Structure 1
Amino acid sequence: MRTIDEVMPVYHFRERHRREIRDTTAEAVWQALHSVTLNDLALTRMLVAVRGLKGDRSKPMFDGGPIKLLEQDEPLYAIGAGISRAWQPRPSKLEVSTVDEFTSFREPGWTKYLTDFRVEPAGDGVVLSTETRGYSTDTRSRLLFGCYWAVIRPGSGLVRRDVLAAVARLTARHRAARP
């Protein structure tokens, strides 16, 4: 299992978020993380829907969402990737199926991005964190993506925090439902 640090040690942009979830296990948080749907997002469901997560709003976001999960170390770590020209009105996207395919991609004019999720046991609960990193394959795409990132970064961060909050709510709901 390769981590985000191993797959993309050099990057042009980065965003990290974390949330402590008490009175739970890594397994319960992992299950909630993999069941989060667009409907579970309290603040940003419309923002995510507008930007590219179309279709069934009750389908887990990891199934057909903005990133494709490439590797998982259940219940502690998952890493997903994408390659796009996000700055375009209708972004061009390339799908990759493996970490090796992702790391070997070097065609100019694109931005490669990774997102990971870590579930780390901590005391009577866990810390759930996510990090996104991006690397543009040439100077022009780096400038174009930089302008795009400057505009969308606040919303991007809000979406990630909303996903972490949704996982915490789902975990609490499942805990309350146990006999």
Structure 2
Amino acid sequence: MNEKLWKALGIIRSKANLEWVSPSPFLPVFNFYEIHESGAIHARPEEIISAVSALNMRDDRVADALLSIRELPSKILKKFGKRPQQQETAPFGFNTFTLLQRTNYEISLGLAGRFWRPDLDICHIPSAREFEALDDLRVAKLVLRFQVIEHQHNIHTLRTETFVYCGNTRTKMLFTPYWLAIRFASGWIRRRTLASIQWQLSTGAR
């Protein structure tokens, strides 16, 4: 399989890591990657980042439906499983992530877990320092970066990138089919998120 096809699948090999122009400082080595970019946004960078920070992805009906489907196996296990009842968790959204960095031009969020499992097995990580220090080979580490890109005539676009790192071959083999299975839905959610922010800032809606 040639390098272009690997990249089309969002699977990044070690050689490509060495040549990457702008990796996330929170995940400089990664195995999976996805990128999307909005249309033109006539707003200041800090306004765009504020809109990202305030966004609730569950407000979008399509995103909420897709995420609800993904959460269904976990709910079934909690209801009918033999394990003790766990404390009810909040619906998956940006608040599930760990804030890693926020500037006027960028916001990065981190997440770690065994995402291929029915319950996602998400780790509770309270800070960026603890996210960087996490060294559990059983889990995948994910960074979601929103970045404002400057263009001529005071026009900006918003770019979203997803970086995922698996610490060993077994974890990578478990994550790969999950990654390929969710890529379409994940990309659809990202594009709708970007379109929502673009619409909010173009109309003044909040």
What TM-score do the two structures reach when normalised by structure 2? 0.71
Query: Which one of the candidate residues 112, 121, 130 is aligned to 2:150?
Result: 121
**Runs ≥4 residues deviating over 3 A:** 49-52, 54-57
SS at match of 1:89: coil
Q: How far apart are residue 42 of structure 1 and its match?
A: 5.6
Q: Is structure 2 residue 198 aligned with structure 1 residue 168?
A: yes
Percent identical: 24
Distance 2:184 2:156 in 1: 26
SS at match of 1:80: strand
1:39-58 alignment runs, 5 A limit:
40-41=59-60, 43-52=62-71
Q: Is structure 2 residue 189 aligned with structure 1 residue 159?
A: yes
Distance 1:171 1:32 in 2: 8
Q: Is structure 2 residue 98 aligned with structure 1 residue 68?
A: yes
Q: How far apart are residue 34 of structure 1 and its match?
A: 2.0
For residue 130 of structure 2, what is the aligned residue in structure 1?
A: 101
Q: Is structure 2 residue 40 aligned with structure 1 residue 24?
A: no
For residue 116 of structure 2, what is the aligned residue in structure 1?
A: 87
The structure with more radius of gyration: 2
For residue 110 of structure 1, what is the aligned residue in structure 2?
A: 139
Q: How far apart are residue 142 of structure 1 and its match?
A: 0.8
Structure 1 residues 50 and 68, CA, compared in 2 at 3 Å: closer, same or farther? farther
Aligned length: 167
Distance 1:99 1:47 in 2: 28
CA contact (8 A) 1:70 1:97 kept: no
SS at match of 1:34: helix
Bigger fraction of residues in strand: 1
Distance 2:65 2:193 in 1: 13
CA contact (8 A) 2:98 2:128 kept: no
CA contact (8 A) 1:26 1:126 kept: yes
Distance 1:170 1:42 in 2: 16
Cα-Cα RMSD? 2.4
Query: Which residues of structure 2 form unaligned runs of 5+?
Result: 1-21, 72-88
Distance 2:107 2:194 in 1: 14
CA contact (8 A) 1:81 1:112 kept: yes
Structure 1 residues 152 and 20, CA, compared in 2 at 3 Å: closer, same or farther? same
CA contact (8 A) 2:41 2:201 kept: no
